[in-house]
């Protein structure tokens, strides 16, 4: 009888520990995003700066990666840090030999608000502030020496819609569908002697800007 009571008591403690773990919300997230994009009919007027001597429509290809980490402030709120790298190549739709290539690294902070936490499919809103450094090269027969090298410093404020699906208790698949963003900064054409500033709003809320993320909850 004594052994039965001990076994029952230990079983009760074990069940309570498991229950407490299930009720314990995750404290942190670690994840990463990947976006591979091909966009047709990108207008040179919609870029941060029109460095092309001829206006027209361009084909944009490239990829972007963005690892990040965050902390739950509440069940609905997450605050975190993100870094990123992006490669972009623009070519005109015409038979011109023009080519624009840009490499960018970025870092910043993000905040997330979960509209329906606890469901398998969760809708989220993610504002973020990012700082980006970009080096670029533009090749064209219309340029001196057929080449122009430049760099840029960009500040970005973005608001993005997210949808996450719980693959398991610890793993989420997250989709990011572009952003409403404000960009400001400058391009440097000649080692600090020739700068051009820019500042504008843009919207790219469509499937061509879909970024998929895998996210682990800790």
Q: What is the mean pLDDT of residues 189-204?
A: 79
Does 13 reside within a domain?
no
Q: Name the residue among 176, 204, 201, 190 with its Cα closest to residue 84.
A: 176
Q: Is residue 187 part of a domain?
A: yes
Average pLDDT over residues 28-46: 76
Flag whether 6 is in a domain: no
Q: What are the residues whose beta carbons fall under 8 Å from the beta carbon of 197, sequence distance 6 or more?
A: 184, 185, 186
Query: Is 14 within the bounds of a domain?
Result: no
- Domain with 41 in it: 22-217
> Picking from 36-50, 131-145, 182-196, which range would have the lowest pLDDT averaged per residue?
36-50
What domain count does the chain have?
A: 1
Whether residue 132 lies inside any domain: the answer is: yes
| Chain segment 154-188, per-residue pLDDT in tens | 999 999 999 999 999 999 999 998 889 999 998 88
CATH code of the domain in which 95 resides: 2.40.160.20
Report the alpha-carbon distance of residue 14 to residue 52 in Å, rounded: 68
Is residue 79 included in any domain, yes or no? Answer: yes
52 in a structural domain: yes
pLDDT at 95: 63
């Amino acid at each position: 009888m004594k052994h039965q009571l001990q076994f029952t008591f230990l079983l009760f403690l074990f069940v309570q520990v498991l229950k407490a773990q299930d009720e314990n919300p995750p404290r942190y997230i670690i994840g990463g995003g990947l976006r591979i994009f091909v966009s047709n009919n990108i207008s040179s007027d919609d870029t941060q700066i029109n460095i092309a001597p001829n206006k027209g429509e361009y084909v944009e290809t490239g990829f972007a990666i963005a690892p990040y980490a965050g902390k739950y402030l509440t069940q609905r709120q997450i605050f975190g840090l993100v870094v990123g790298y992006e490669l972009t190549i623009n070519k005109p739709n015409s038979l011109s030999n023009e080519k624009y290539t840009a490499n960018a690294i970025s870092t910043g902070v993000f905040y997330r608000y979960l509209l329906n936490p606890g469901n398998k499919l969760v809708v989220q809103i993610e504002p973020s502030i990012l700082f980006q450094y970009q080096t670029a090269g533009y090749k064209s027969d219309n340029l001196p020496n057929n080449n122009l090298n430049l760099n840029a410093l960009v500040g970005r404020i973005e608001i993005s819609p997210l949808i996450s699906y719980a693959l398991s208790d610890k793993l989420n698949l997250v989709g990011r569908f572009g952003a409403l963003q404000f960009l400001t900064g400058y391009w440097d054409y000649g080692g600090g002697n020739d700068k051009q500033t820019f500042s504008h709003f843009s919207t790219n809320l469509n499937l061509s800007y879909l970024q998929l993320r895998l996210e682990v909850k800790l």
